[in-house]
Amino acid sequence: MSSDRKLTPLGEDFSAWYNEVVLRAELVDYTPVKGSLVIRPYGYAIWELIQGALDGMFKATGHENAYFPLLIPESLLAKEAEHIEGFAPQTAVVTRGGGKELEEPLVIRPTSEAIIWPIMAGWIQSYRDLPLLINQWANIVRWELRTRPFLRTLEFLWQEGHTAHATQEEAEAEARQMLGIYRRFMEDWMAMPPVTGRKTEREKFAGADRTYSCEPMMQDNRALQAATSHNLGQKFSRAFEVKFQTEAGEHDYVWSTSWGASTRLIGGLVMTHGDDVGLILPPKLAPIQVVVVPIYKSSAERASVLEAAERIRASLDRNVRVKVDDRDTLNPGAKFYEWERKGVPVRLEIGPRDVAAGQVMVVRRIVFGDAERKVAMGESEAIAMLEGLLETMQAGLHERALDRRERNSYRGLKDYGEFKQIMSQSGGYIYTGWCGGEECESKVKDDTKATIRVIPDPEFRSDDAPDKCIACGAESTNEVVWARAY
């Protein structure tokens, strides 16, 4: 694929645009393993920033990392009935090891509850050992036939938290706390504000009592299930005999949670902010926040321009992730285009005349309000304003995404015909009443491909939520948010 061919416009074919962006920004590449992608260094650097931020938030709330086995005996996966029913069709199974057929096949983890609980059971004797707050960064395999980079792949990277508590209330509080951490991370770091809430019985995690989810809206007005947090009740502790002695000296099963977010977040980042040129990265998750592109013809020019570029880099290096692109094999125009395609927030161009005038050209990847995209500035002035500019861009991206989400959200809708029309045209989030019946969920999905993303948390609910179910007209039990989703 030629690197200067234009992308398919986002508004013309969102799906084609997405695939082209992730490939041409060098986030991923295809592999000889069907459904498995390689995460290239630029994509992995974004993942490292995501990991660093989330890991810090997990540790600040008392969680510790550990590492559990990749391979799960089939019999363990089968212990929790709903769980195996949900995951069995997606498993990759090892039947041969060391040249021999195995007596019991081993499943590559599609999630780790079934191996974590039999092990952690041994670490819990009494209430003194609770809460047990564990997280794992790991690879996961789920057999998928229709794959899309980051959004749905045979193998992906994620973190999975697994916690045990003495009471139902504590487990519920933990599940809610982790949902809040994911939401805060998406807002503060990703500039990708989600609607949060609870999943319906039909949509919840296989084996959970309750599933909570963060659902940001992509630029095609679809929802992305971007992170989930599950209150597992006592389902897994009963299946795996995880008991403890209470303070009163009795025996009870622990109350557990699990919660996860994956490399899918990178797909969300792309679909939230990108444009027809390519990737746009919020500064906090940009591996390179500022790229300095020196412009020169002669070798004398080269020396003086690179000296200035290096001086700027050194001034910024402490607080900003900055790179000088000193490759002699590309001309400046090609470099500009490459870094725009890769979503670097700010470019500094510096040529011989800039050096002579003590100035630099500051070019923004994206402009908000009436700011200029390209501004010549004194070198020290530019250095002094860059951190603030990155913060402004971070905030601007968040505001833009929030504004877009709300512009494409519909509240107070009572007419199912109108509902179907919106879903078949622009799409978006439609808040309606719902009777609580799975038949209505199925009917709406069959009619429109939309599903209930969440029963929204209080702060997302409408002031005047309709009191009738959008599908059957019976009394509503909950306001719900419908959308087509990834």
Q: How far is the CB of 141 from its own copies (least distance, A)?
A: 7
Which one of 154-162, 207-215, 317-325, 412-420 is the stretch in contact with its own copies (CB under 8 A)? 154-162
**73 contacts its own copies (rule: CB under 8 A):** yes
Among 77, 115, 444, 483, binds its own copies (CB under 8 A): 115
**Residues 33-52, mask of contacts with its own copies (x by CB under 8 A):** x--xxxxxx-xxx-xx----
Residue among 134, 123, 111 nearest 61 (CA)? 134
Under 8 Å between Cβ of 110 and 140: yes
CA distance 361 to 354: 8
**286 contacts its own copies (rule: CB under 8 A):** no
Residue among 182, 215, 177, 190 nearest 47 (CA)? 190
Q: Which helix (H) or strand (E) holds 267?
A: helix 264-273
Query: 361 - beta bridge partners?
Result: 349, 376
In sequence order, which residues have a C-beta less than 8 Å from that of residue 3 and are 6 or more positions away? 24, 334, 337, 338, 341
Torsion 386-391-396-397 (CA) sign: positive
Closer residue to its own copies (CB): 321 or 484: 321
Encoded tokens for 358: 């003590």
Among 94, 173, 395, 402, binds its own copies (CB under 8 A): 94
Q: How far is the CB of 50 from its own copies (least distance, A)?
A: 13
Is 1 in a helix, a strand, or coil?
Answer: coil
Q: How far is the CB of 159 from its own copies (least distance, A)?
A: 13
Residue among 188, 176, 192, 178 nearest 226 (CA)? 192
Closer residue to its own copies (CB): 118 or 294: 118
Among 49, 53, 78, 88, binds its own copies (CB under 8 A): 88
CA distance 20 to 25: 8
Q: How many residues does the chain have?
A: 486
**466 contacts its own copies (rule: CB under 8 A):** no
**Residues 322-361, mask of contacts with its own copies (x by CB under 8 A):** -------x--------------------------------
Which one of 67-75, 192-200, 218-226, 402-410 is the stretch in contact with its own copies (CB under 8 A)? 67-75
Closer residue to its own copies (CB): 99 or 388: 99
Which stretches of the chain bind its own copies, using CB under 8 A?
29, 31-33, 36-41, 43-45, 47-48, 64-73, 76, 88-99, 105-106, 108, 115, 118-119, 122-123, 128, 134, 138-139, 141, 143-145, 154-155, 157, 329
